[in-house]
RNA sequence: GGUCCCAUAGCUCAGCAGGAUAGAGCGCAGGAUUCCUAAUCCUGAGGCCGAUGGUUCGAAUCCAUCUGGGAUCACCA
């Protein structure tokens, strides 16, 4: 039930009854007509630009047309007042009865209230995290993980058919490095003194148990093999071990993917899938052999001018053509990416979403080029870039250096502040905006901490129900007939709270369409704020309190309101992937 | 040099799919409150929406150029 969709229809129906419209029906288009909440609540509950948009094609002026439309709208029994303002806005005020019935619907729909079909079952693939399986996840992965996960939840709620996917970069040079690093740890486990870890290998202690496991399983056998023989064995074990670790980290952050897709799948069988993808592009005329111009600005010292197999991505929107095959004959990472996109497209996805860090901004155009070339422009590809996160501890920036291995892991952050706080704060900013994350602030138990503030609102709702049980011991709160009591909701503050809840379905749709999960979190904060404000009024005016042991029916009606608030909070918190606690301790 | 992102109150940021008098939190100023519906509350001041053009009935929002800040820029993944 979406109030604005409801009135969108009602206004269109009203328009159809007007003679001026009937006469020129074929010439007028309702496409630009909007129905939305007015900026200022004092204007009304629903506003439409209908008169301003339609005046011109109808050959009249907006104010005159607005008067005609208003007259038609006044016939609607749910409309209590219609006014024309400014250049021709039509402001509609709804009857109390309408709000009350709307509340009853919200309660009945529960946590499904706000669910939308706007995605129309479109198959969308959200790829996010995709951290290299060479070590534990570090804090830099946090934001993309949370944004991707919440976006997928949001789009799922808005009616898309969503697959959450993780691309395992388990091919290429870095995995060789990983395997060599593990092999060293294996030798160490066999009793050898390996000394300092040489530069160029991964020094982290997390590889020690992997080496030990190999020693336990194979004894000295690997040690006696040539590298080409032990390499595949060690690679498999190492990648598997890293992925176990990464999945544990993701679980700790409440991130759960549907599909883990291995890059090695693309390289299997003599790189069958990559070759197929390149052949496909070649067939479509997107591949040629040629030279790439050297990069503008400073020329790299080791620049080689040579023929390469190139993807003519400039013809599909890229700035420069991209190599598919390296000088040693192996495939570039980009070639695998082409194959991966094709694989997803062949799996039937209409839209691929990539959640990447801002440092991958330069990659966007070539991915879009891939989408155009592979799908002939039929598949949609969008990239969400997350700006960097800066960590602060008590106002001081936390220094990190990759080289020394001195980085903060995702796990450390989650263990210290909790996944709810991490997730909420990662969403409490537009993804295109850099983010400061202060350890002290996000764990603070006060209204200054938005995580706490929103969760506390939900806990308060639950607390109302506990109080209701004390006041009315015989009350079965799980089977109350709210619908017959909503007529008791007449206080203007209560009705405003209902109006706030009425914004939720529209918010879900616009957030999903614009792929901006942060909007949900901001809305939650707003809703929590309205709820807390109303609660506080109960201090000064006890008659406004939700539970009134002298008036059972009124209390039930208000419990209905509280339930509706709690459901929306729970629904939004679920999209964010954070808990809706029963109480705060 | 190319490309992408950003610029809104003193600070940190929202601003929904162009709409009316641009919002919140912190901070600041004033006031209330010791209550138990806990981890305060209410009110107020504060703005050239980076600049200039354009589209539009109407622009913080869309387009172009410029200024300032960040990211990135063959053969890595």
Question: What ipTM score was computed for the predicted complex, to two decimals?
Answer: 0.95
Whether residue A316 has pLDDT greater than 60: yes
Q: What pLDDT score does A445 carry?
A: 87
The whole-number average pLDDT for the span A419-442 is 92
For A162-174, how does the pLDDT look when each residue is reduced to its tens digit (9 = 90+)? 999 999 999 989 9
- Say how far A539 CA is from B32 C1', in Å: 13
Cβ < 7 Å from strand B, A residues 405-444: 429-430, 432-436
Neighbours of A318 (CB within 10 A): 20
Q: Is A551 near strand B, with its CB below 7 A from some atom of it?
A: no
Q: Which of the nucleotides lies closest to A331 (Cα–C1')?
A: B75
For A437-454, how does the pLDDT look when each residue is reduced to its tens digit (9 = 90+)? 988 888 888 888 999 999
- Say how far A465 CA is from B74 C1', in Å: 64
Question: Please, which pLDDT band fits residue A297 given cuts at 50, 70 and 90?
Answer: low
Q: Which of the nucleotides lies closest to A526 (Cα–C1')?
A: B24
Q: Is A256 near strand B, with its CB below 7 A from some atom of it?
A: no
Q: Is A373 near strand B, with its CB below 7 A from some atom of it?
A: no
Cβ < 7 Å from strand B, A residues 114-133: 132
Q: Is A382 near strand B, with its CB below 7 A from some atom of it?
A: no
For A350-397, how does the pLDDT look when each residue is reduced to its tens digit (9 = 90+)? 999 999 999 898 899 999 999 999 999 899 999 999 998 988 887 778
Q: Is A387 near strand B, with its CB below 7 A from some atom of it?
A: yes
Cβ < 7 Å from strand B, A residues 331-370: 332-334, 358-365
Cβ < 7 Å from strand B, A residues 552-581: none
Separation in Å, CA A27 to CA A33, A35, A50, A367: 15, 21, 15, 41
A281 vs A446, residue with greater confidence: A281
Question: Please, which pLDDT band fits residue A68 given cuts at 50, 70 and 90?
Answer: very high
Cβ < 7 Å from strand B, A residues 513-532: 513-514, 516, 518-519, 522, 529, 532
Q: What pLDDT score does A504 carry?
A: 95
Q: Which of the nucleotides lies closest to A296 (Cα–C1')?
A: B1
Considering Cα of A143, then A148, then A150, then A154, what sign does the dihedral take?
positive
The share of chain A scoring above pLDDT 90, in percent, equals 74
Question: Please, which pLDDT band fits residue A300 given cuts at 50, 70 and 90?
Answer: low
Q: What pLDDT score does A306 carry?
A: 79
Q: Is A470 near strand B, with its CB below 7 A from some atom of it?
A: no
Q: Is A302 near strand B, with its CB below 7 A from some atom of it?
A: yes
Q: Which of the nucleotides lies closest to A534 (Cα–C1')?
A: B37
Question: Please, which pLDDT band fits residue A539 given cuts at 50, 70 and 90?
Answer: confident
Q: Is A326 near strand B, with its CB below 7 A from some atom of it?
A: yes
> What is the b/e burial string over A399-429, where b = at least 16 CB atoms within 10 angstroms of the residue's CB?
eeeeeeeebbbbbebbeebbbbbbbbbbbbb
Whether residue A60 has pLDDT greater than 60: yes
Cβ < 7 Å from strand B, A residues 278-297: 292, 295-297
Tell me if A215 sits within 8 A of A186, measured CB to CB. Answer: yes
A42 vs A75, residue with greater confidence: A75
Length of chain A (residues): 585
Q: Is A174 near strand B, with its CB below 7 A from some atom of it?
A: yes
Mean pLDDT of chain A: 91
- Say how far A106 CA is from B59 C1', in Å: 36
Q: What pLDDT score does A519 carry?
A: 95
Which residue is nearest nucleotide B57, judged by alpha carbon to C1' distance? Answer: A52
**Which residue bears the tokens 């879009």?**
A368
Cα angle A426, A119, A342 (rounded to 5 degrees) comes to 85
Q: Is A171 near strand B, with its CB below 7 A from some atom of it?
A: yes
- Say how far A322 CA is from B36 C1', in Å: 68
Q: Is A93 near strand B, with its CB below 7 A from some atom of it?
A: no
The bases of strand B with some atom under 7 A from any protein CB are 1-6, 12-17, 19-26, 35, 37-42, 57-58, 70-77
Q: Is A494 near strand B, with its CB below 7 A from some atom of it?
A: no
Largest Cα–Cα separation, chain A: 94
The share of chain A scoring above pLDDT 70, in percent, equals 97
- Say how far A478 CA is from B35 C1', in Å: 32
Annotated domain spans of chain A:
3-94, 173-252, 281-376, 445-576
Whether residue A340 has pLDDT greater than 70: yes
CA distance A178 to A180: 5
Whether residue A529 has pLDDT greater than 60: yes
- Say how far A323 CA is from B10 C1', in Å: 51
**A445-576 — its CATH code?**
1.10.730.10
Q: Which listed CATH number (3.40.1160.10, 3.90.700.10, 3.40.50.1000, 3.30.1360.70) goes with A3-94?
A: 3.30.1360.70
Q: What pLDDT score does A402 carry?
A: 53
Separation in Å, CA A537 to CA A131, A374, A524: 49, 60, 20
Q: What pLDDT score does A479 carry?
A: 83
Q: What pLDDT score does A396 carry?
A: 79
Q: Is A46 near strand B, with its CB below 7 A from some atom of it?
A: no
Tell me if A304 sits within 8 A of A291, measured CB to CB. Answer: no
Separation in Å, CA A30 to CA A16, A37, A65, A116: 11, 18, 14, 22
Tell me if A178 sits within 8 A of A234, measured CB to CB. Answer: no
- Say how far A456 CA is from B11 C1', in Å: 26
Q: Is A181 near strand B, with its CB below 7 A from some atom of it?
A: no
* A285-288 contact pairs (CB < 8 A, 24+): A285/A312, A286/A311, A286/A312, A286/A313, A286/A315, A286/A316, A286/A373, A287/A311, A287/A312, A287/A324, A288/A312
The whole-number average pLDDT for the span A328-336 is 92
CA distance A267 to A189: 32
- Say how far A263 CA is from B63 C1', in Å: 41
The whole-number average pLDDT for the span A111-139 is 94
Cβ < 7 Å from strand B, A residues 194-213: none
Whether residue A556 has pLDDT greater than 80: yes
Q: Which of the nucleotides lies closest to A431 (Cα–C1')?
A: B5
A477 vs A508, residue with greater confidence: A508
- Say how far A34 CA is from B17 C1', in Å: 9
Whether residue A406 has pLDDT greater than 90: no
Q: Which of the nucleotides lies closest to A362 (Cα–C1')?
A: B72
Q: Is A26 near strand B, with its CB below 7 A from some atom of it?
A: no
Q: What pLDDT score does A38 carry?
A: 86
Q: What pLDDT score does A298 carry?
A: 57
């Amino acid at each position: 039930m979406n109030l604005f969709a409801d009135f969108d229809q009602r206004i269109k129906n009203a328009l159809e009854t007007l003679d001026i419209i009937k006469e020129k029906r074929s010439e007028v288009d309702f496409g630009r007509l909007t129905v939305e909440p007015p900026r200022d609540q004092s204007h009304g509950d629903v506003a439409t630009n209908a008169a301003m948009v339609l005046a011109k094609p109808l050959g009249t002026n907006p104010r005159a047309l607005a008067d005609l439309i208003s007259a038609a709208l006044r016939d609607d029994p749910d409309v209590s007042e219609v006014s024309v303002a400014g250049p021709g806005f039509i402001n509609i005020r709804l009857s109390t009865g309408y709000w009350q019935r709307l509340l009853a619907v919200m309660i009945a729909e529960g946590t499904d209230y706000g669910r939308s079909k706007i995605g129309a079952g479109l198959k969308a693939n959200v790829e996010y995290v995709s951290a290299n399986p060479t070590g534990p996840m570090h804090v830099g992965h946090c934001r993309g993980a949370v944004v991707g996960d919440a976006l997928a939840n949001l789009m799922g709620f808005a009616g898309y058919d969503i697959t959450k996917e993780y691309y395992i970069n388990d091919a290429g040079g870095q995995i060789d490095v990983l395997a060599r690093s593990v092999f060293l740890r294996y030798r160490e486990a066999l009793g050898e003194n390996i000394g300092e870890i040489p530069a160029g290998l991964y020094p982290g202690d997390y590889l020690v148990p992997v080496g030990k496991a190999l020693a336990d399983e194979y004894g000295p056998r690997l040690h006696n093999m040539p590298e080409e023989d032990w390499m595949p064995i060690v690679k498999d074990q190492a990648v598997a071990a890293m992925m176990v670790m990464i999945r544990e980290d993701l679980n700790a952050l409440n991130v759960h993917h549907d599909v883990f897709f291995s890059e090695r799948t693309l390289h299997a069988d003599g790189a069958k899938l990559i070759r197929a993808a390149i052949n496909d592009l070649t067939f479509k005329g997107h591949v040629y052999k040629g030279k790439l111009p050297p990069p503008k600005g400073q020329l790299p010292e080791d620049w080689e001018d040579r023929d390469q197999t190139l993807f003519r991505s400039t013809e599909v929107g890229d700035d420069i053509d991209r190599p598919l095959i390296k000088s040693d004959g192996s495939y570039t990472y980009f070639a695998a990416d082409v194959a991966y996109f094709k694989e997803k497209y062949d799996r039937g996805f209409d839209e691929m979403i990539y959640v990447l860090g801002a440092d991958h901004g330069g990659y966007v155009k070539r991915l879009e080029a891939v989408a155009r070339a592979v799908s002939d422009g039929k598949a949609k590809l969008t990239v969400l870039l997350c700006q960097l996160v800066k960590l602060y501890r008590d106002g001081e920036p936390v220094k990190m250096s990759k080289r020394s291995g001195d980085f903060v892991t995702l796990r450390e952050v989650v263990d210290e502040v909790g996944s709810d706080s991490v997730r909420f704060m990662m969403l409490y900013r537009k993804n295109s905006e850099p983010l400061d994350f202060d350890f002290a602030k996000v764990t603070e138990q006060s209204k200054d901490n938005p995580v706490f503030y929103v969760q506390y609102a939900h806990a308060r709702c639950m607390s109302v129900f506990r109080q209701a049980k004390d006041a009315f011991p015989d009350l079965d709160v799980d089977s109350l007939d709210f619908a017959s009591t909503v007529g008791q909701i007449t206080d203007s503050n209560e009705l405003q709270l209902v109006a706030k809840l009425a914004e939720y379905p529209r918010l879900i749709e616009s957030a999903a369409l614009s792929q901006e999960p942060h909007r949900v979190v901001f809305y939650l904060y707003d809703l929590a704020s309205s709820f807390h404000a109303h609660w506080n009024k109960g201090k000064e005016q006890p008659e406004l309190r939700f539970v009134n042991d002298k008036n059972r029916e009124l209390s039930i009606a208000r419990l209905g309101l509280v339930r509706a608030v709690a459901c929306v909070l729970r629904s939004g918190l679920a999209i964010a992937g954070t808990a809706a606690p029963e109480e705060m301790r």
